[in-house]
Amino acid sequence: MPRPSHEHEQEAIRRGLRVSTASAAWTLLSGGSSIAAGVLSGSLVLVAFGAVGLMDALGSFSLIVHFRHALRQQNLSERKEIWALRLVRFGMAAVGAGTLGDSAFRLSSHSTANSSPFGVMLAGVSLLVLILLASAKLRIAPRVPSRALRADGWLSGIGALLAGVTLIGSGLQATLGWWWLDSTAAAVVGATALGLSFAAGRG
């Protein structure tokens, strides 16, 4: 695949900077709100969803620094690219491992989560926003090119997946009483996050 021209690459970097800025703002706000709602309602998926959001925000902030430097220097820094990728991978791995551990504990102790109207509403809005952010990151990443932005797109996708799980899980738990669904679904998403973290490192 031929490398994009310098002009096209600079435009792609500007787009990467814009989507990273939007992602940082949204995930910081929604992540903090989701963790608070999850703690109050006892929902592991909401807490995990919020943790993904905060890790996504951390990765987005590193990309903001990376892309701003690239625009000033008129060239991408391989060193900053590597550090941004490491931060995003760390975020995915931390969320995956933490979610799996907490899921196992809750399943073994038969812990249940109470539905939170605010959490469900936040998950519904986040599902749409994160799908848009993930799609934009994955579309722009090969044009930069940036493996870190691509991995951050995967992380946004994990957040969207957790948002969908929250919506479906809340409905099924309320109607069918499936107490185990919240933790089981979170465990699946946690395993997915770990897998994507390793995949991002292998390119």
Q: Which domains does the chain have, with CATH numbers?
A: 6-202 (1.20.1510.10)
- In terms of pLDDT, which residue wins out, 78 or 3? 78
**Structure-token pair, residue 1:** 């695949």
Q: How far apart are CA 45 and CA 34, in angstroms?
A: 9
Reported confidence tier of residue 174, pLDDT bands at 50, 70, 90: low
pLDDT, one tens digit per residue, over 78-132 is: 999 999 999 989 888 887 888 788 788 878 877 665 556 777 788 889 999 999 9
pLDDT, one tens digit per residue, over 177-199 is: 677 777 787 788 888 888 888 88
Place of tokens 């599902």: 127
Name the residue among 169, 172, 173 with its Cα closest to residue 188.
Answer: 169
pLDDT, one tens digit per residue, over 22-78 is: 999 999 999 898 888 878 877 766 777 787 788 889 889 999 999 999 999 888 889
